[in-house]
Structure 1
Amino acid sequence: MMVWSAIFLSALAMTVIIALRYIVSSGLFAWISVRMRPGIYDGQNRQIQREIGWSLLSAAIYGIPAGIVAWGWQAHGWTLVYTRWDAYPLWYLPVAPLVYLFLHDTWFYWTHRLMHRPTLFRAMHAVHHASRPPTAWAAMSFHPYEAITGAVVIPVLVFLVPIHVAMLGIVLLIMTVMGIINHIGWEIVPRSIIHSRLGAWLITASHHHRHHEQYRCNFGLYFRVWDRLCRTDGGLSEP
């Protein structure tokens, strides 16, 4: 009984953490957006309310597997997450986050593209695309079925790819920030970066906004690698 209580409390704690992370980070970028682009979200109050509602439900769906894995890591040493800086060569520290982001991006691209098939779109993905145009509150606005596809990624990867706990924190930070800035409805990244060689392979609001406009292109999450390889890169929009 105590084990189940510990697992429940861990899942509950992770749900609260994810929900608070969402409220604080999306709220911050929403505030920045309104300051930088006055009137950008005018007339979208009801949409924003829906986005917040779906996102808080998604926080619970993300929190349950995260809480179970966190409990297993702390109580039984599950996962390949490590805390000693010398457990692996120092050169591996920045490599692990890149591996996580690439694998997450790969999973996202193919599941996202699959969810654009008509039947799955109606059942899973239409909730997210109801955000037209998206706002800073839309990054986690998913139907529960879609939220499940995203919630399992990191809990699975920590069993497959070793990573320092601090580097895992960086992965989660990048996930949060990029998820939000790609939906804020305007381009926060300097044009000099977007139109650079590096920017040609990164996804920002200009790239993802085109997806929300046309639906059939720009399926990636962090990188444009799969979009370019599969010829689904629709270029940039002007959010």
Structure 2
Amino acid sequence: MASQVYHDYTGFTNVTSFSDAFNNFNQIESLNVFEKLWGSYYYYMGNDIFATGLLFFCVHELFYFGRCLPWFIIERIPYFDKYRIQETKLPSNQEQWECLKSVLTSHFLVEAFPIWFFHPLCKQIGISFQVPFPPITDILLQLTVFFVLEDAWHYWFHRGLHHGVFYKYIHKQHHRYAAPFGLAAEYAHPIEVALLGFGTVGIPIIWCIITKKLHLFTICVWIILRLFQAVDAHSGYEFPWSLHHFLPFWAGADHHDEHHHYFIGSYASSFRWWDFVLDTEAGPKGKQSREQKMKVQAEKKTQ
């Protein structure tokens, strides 16, 4: 079964290894190195459905646990304790192990199954996977849109999960750790995984249905960035070089750590504007801000 990753295989030699496939694509001067690697992978696999499923599953596992590993190491180096947001609460090895088992179970029994049906869906709605890739400007625009829309989705549904039976039977699992750590980013009830995960996967799908313009490579980059954001937000560490010091609207670990510490407020994933505008910032700073606004309003009424 020949891959449809490229439109013209004229001049290609027989392939018995990935190296052979890359040598074939390396002859196409119009492709950059990433496009050559992408094309070589699909051409070598020879089955686009299997190739996409394997690619996305491996990307998820590699970058999720790969991003968790530095935080796991940092937690065991005393020098970094001064940057720990909740200094007295460190996850034990037993807690880490229980969390790891739960996350792996979720990955293999909940998330793996739909991944293998992703390529037929992409083909149906027009998500391309061929080389060359779209222009970098298109990719950056789409990534920006995905971050903004996912943040809005996450805010409202996360906030909803803190009400009544939704918290008791679904979201409470994620709040097992009042002091979060990187590995706990995807420690959640399967319903929560599906509901909040739709913001990551569903938004690009809807974007493609509307615009008819999206590439699987863009989705790959988006998922990697989203994984990094989620793991870092649960890291439990605040550094002088943390991103929100340079981008004030970026949420970061200090924003989400207060959500776990106080169990309410700071619902957004990537940005701070929803919590700021709607007065749902968690912790002492959020409370002080709300009290100050109430004081100003009271003073205006008495004037």
Q: 4+ residue stretches of structure 1 with deviation over 6 A?
A: 6-10
Counterpart code for 1:37: F
7 and 125 in structure 1: CA distance in 2 versus 1, 3 angstrom threshold:
farther
66 and 21 in structure 1: CA distance in 2 versus 1, 3 angstrom threshold:
same
Q: Which runs of 5+ in 2 are unaligned?
A: 1-47, 208-212, 286-303
What SS is found at the alignment partner of 1:134?
A: coil
Deviations 1:170-198 (A, max 9, x none): 2112111111111111114626x5345x2
Give the superposition deviation at 1:29.
Answer: 2.5
Give the superposition deviation at 1:140.
Answer: 0.7
Using the size of structure 2 for normalisation, the TM-score is: 0.64
Q: What does 1:1-239 align with in structure 2 at a 5 Å threshold?
A: 14-15=56-57, 17-35=59-77, 36-37=79-80, 44-60=92-108, 61-73=110-122, 76=123, 78-81=125-128, 83=130, 91-161=137-207, 162-188=213-239, 190=241, 194-196=244-246, 198-199=247-248, 201-234=249-282
82 and 233 in structure 1: CA distance in 2 versus 1, 3 angstrom threshold:
farther
State how far apart, in whole Å, the 2-side matches of 1:235 and 1:173 are. 29
Q: Figure out how many residues of one structure are paired with residues of the other and give that number.
A: 227
Counterpart code for 1:125: H
Counterpart code for 1:129: H
Structure number with greater CO (CA < 8 Å, separation at least 6) is 1
State how far apart, in whole Å, the 1-side matches of 2:262 and 2:169 are. 19
Using the size of structure 1 for normalisation, the TM-score is: 0.79
- Tell me the C-alpha RMSD between the 2 structures: 3.2
Counterpart code for 2:115: A
Deviations 1:46-73 (A, max 9, x none): 2212221221133232333333113443
What SS is found at the alignment partner of 1:93?
A: helix
Counterpart code for 1:32: I
Q: Percent identity?
A: 20
State how far apart, in whole Å, the 2-side matches of 1:27 and 1:127 are. 22
Q: Which has the larger radius of gyration?
A: 2
What SS is found at the alignment partner of 1:232?
A: coil
Q: Which runs of 5+ in 1 are unaligned?
A: 1-5
